[in-house]
Structure 1
Amino acid sequence: MASEDIMIKRSLLLSLLLATGAVQAQDKAATQPDLAKAKQTAEQVCGACHGTDGNSQIPANPKLAGQHAEYLYKQLTNFKSEGGKPAERANAVMGGMVAALSADDMKGLAAYFAGQKLNPEAAKNKASIELGQRLWRAGDLKRGIPACAACHGPAGAGLPAQYPRLAGQFADYTEAQLKAFRAGERANDPAKMMRTIALKMTDPEIKAVADYAAGLR
């Protein structure tokens, strides 16, 4: 009798484990981004500005390939207006693009572009390399400008989800974003960090550090 009870308990335990495993597998499948759908959206919607693989050919539009998925998802959600409230990151073009996207759609696009290989840009202004390098590595503590590397990494790889990869990005785009932060036109940085830093930077400093970041690998 005892032997029979043990067999029954083992059978019940096995059934429970199998059921738990099946539920976990279903949950995992449900949370996996639909990369096939994301690729289709990238080709039909995003490709004109950012390239179907995230390697934009237009300096005004950022390269998305290889960017952190968490950061991309945050930006997409920031562009989206919810409940009649203004979007956290104001951009008429991107606001229109994300209007019809669900959270799952945006997660899929973020994962898709994060998985693409970046075709990086290069630093082009030899005259400003020294200034860009100094600001990137050490900042200017006397003026309250921290080193860019402190958040974006020595090689510009960034830290998800708040700090994007800047290595290989268009210098023109990075420069434009720093100036937008400085002017308060872009305000989706945590704790006003980038707005505070950019306010202390001159135009030549912004241009130099943007060009230097383009050449990082």
Structure 2
Amino acid sequence: MKKLMAGLLAAVCFSPLYSVHAQQGDPQAGSQKNALCVGCHGIKGYHTGFPEVYRVPMLSGQSAGYIVSALNDYKTGARKHPSMGTTALSLTAQDAADLAAYYESTGLTTETPAKPIDGAAGAALVEKGGCIACHGAGLAKPIAPNYPKVAGQHADYVYAALRAYKTENKPQIGRNNPIMGGVVKQFSDKELKEIARYVESLPTTMQTIQPNRFR
């Protein structure tokens, strides 16, 4: 555990994405730049079909710093996803900051209620993994701007994301993060599904905002 915490502190303090000089985003500008985003993230219940099938994540209410970090990872290939990689490459640093600021500003003002499930097994696994150390209380108050809120996120997406940190040597699937890689490799895929199910049940301020033209 001491080694894990040392790694967490190093990641927070020395990551180039965690910086007081980060690009300042403009939510209003971001609202005018999300045409490429709403085709997937602006449709409630939308499932991506390639390279894996899962509901695309909710972005409204997500931490702006995390969105910028994720886009940078797609741009560099630290996260592998064909369409997200192409989209990220088309964005300037200011575009990414503006989009992130917009999505952070459009979350719910009050948390949704917890979903009634038997989440004891998932809660125990989350505790074992030390998830609160980065993602904060209720998995909704990350300790650093470039860490995500995960509470309430779609279970199938959470499972795919967690499993991606275990995936190696595949050209279109995988995520490179030493901290997350070390955490998830202690769990079986069955346990990761249980974690994801529990995570989805938690109260959240994240949502998907669907434009009128998609309704």
Whether 2:167 is the aligned partner of 1:170: answer no
Displacement of 1:32 in angstroms is: 4.5
Structure 2, unaligned runs of 5 or more? 1-22, 47-53, 204-215
Displacement of 1:149 in angstroms is: 1.7
**C-alpha distance 73-168 of structure 1, shift in aligned 2 (>3 A):** same
Q: Is the 8 A contact 2:27 2:103 kept in 1?
A: no
Displacement of 1:76 in angstroms is: 0.8
Which of 52, 68, 77 matches 2:72? 77
Displacement of 1:211 in angstroms is: 1.1
Larger Cα-atom Rg: 1
Q: Give the number of the structure with larger relative contact order, counting CA–CA contacts within 8 Å between residues 6 or more apart.
A: 2
Query: Aligned residue for 1:149?
Result: 132
Query: Aligned residue for 1:159?
Result: 143
**C-alpha distance 91-120 of structure 1, shift in aligned 2 (>3 A):** farther
The share of aligned pairs that are identical, in percent, is 32
Choose between structure 1 and 2: higher helix proportion: 1
Query: Aligned residue for 2:45?
Result: 57
Whether 2:30 is the aligned partner of 1:38: answer yes
Distance 2:180 2:112 in 1: 23
Counterpart residue identity of residue 163, structure 1: Y
Distance 1:67 1:173 in 2: 15
Counterpart residue identity of residue 195, structure 1: G
Which of 107, 122, 132 matches 2:97? 107
Distance 1:74 1:121 in 2: 28
Q: Is the 8 A contact 1:69 1:111 kept in 2?
A: yes
Distance 2:130 2:99 in 1: 31
Distance 1:93 1:149 in 2: 31
Count of residue pairs the alignment pairs up: 167
Displacement of 1:124 in angstroms is: 6.8
TM-score normalized with structure 2 length: 0.69
